Amino acid sequence: MFDAKAFLATVPQQPGVYRMINAAGTVIYVGKAKDLKKRLSSYFRKEVDSIKTRALVSQISQVEFTLTHSETEALILENNLIKEYLPKYNVLLRDDKSYPYILL
């Protein structure tokens, strides 16, 4: 079983991208955050309301993360990883018809 508390103790408060992996070693979700510790902690609270999130969390056996220098870099990396892994729980960014952009 995934030890969220021990894992979260190792996560920095920096921007980055995370990959949630099931027992078979398959990436089931890719996400980004400006604060990885805060974002990843939100998945493991007892009062998570979303059925989709509870289902996702119940399948996690490992979480990996990659630190980035900025939120923009995280957005680009997240997009590339979603296209590479096609994770079950990612719905947005799956097709290659559009590319996320940032309005300046």
Q: What is the pLDDT of residues 8-65, one digit of tens each?
A: 999 999 999 999 999 999 999 999 999 999 999 999 988 888 888 889 999 999 999 9
Look up residue 90 and give its two tokens.
């990612």
CA triplet 87, 92, 98: central angle to 5 degrees?
115
Mean pLDDT of 73-100: 80
The dihedral sign for the CA sequence 6, 12, 15, 17: negative
pTM for the predicted model, two decimal places: 0.85
Are the C-beta atoms of 77 and 17 separated by less than 8 Å? yes
Are the C-beta atoms of 18 and 36 separated by less than 8 Å? yes
User: Quick one: which H or E segment has residue 26?
Assistant: none
CA triplet 28, 96, 72: central angle to 5 degrees?
75
Q: Report the pLDDT value the prediction gives residue 93, as an integer from 0 to 100.
A: 42
Sheet holding 16-21, edge to edge: 27-33, 16-21, 62-67
72 band by pLDDT with thresholds 50, 70 and 90:
very high
Q: Which domains does the chain have, with CATH numbers?
A: 4-85 (3.40.1440.10)
Look up residue 30 and give its two tokens.
């890719």
For residue 86, pLDDT beyond 60: yes
Q: Report the pLDDT value the prediction gives residue 41, as an integer from 0 to 100.
A: 96
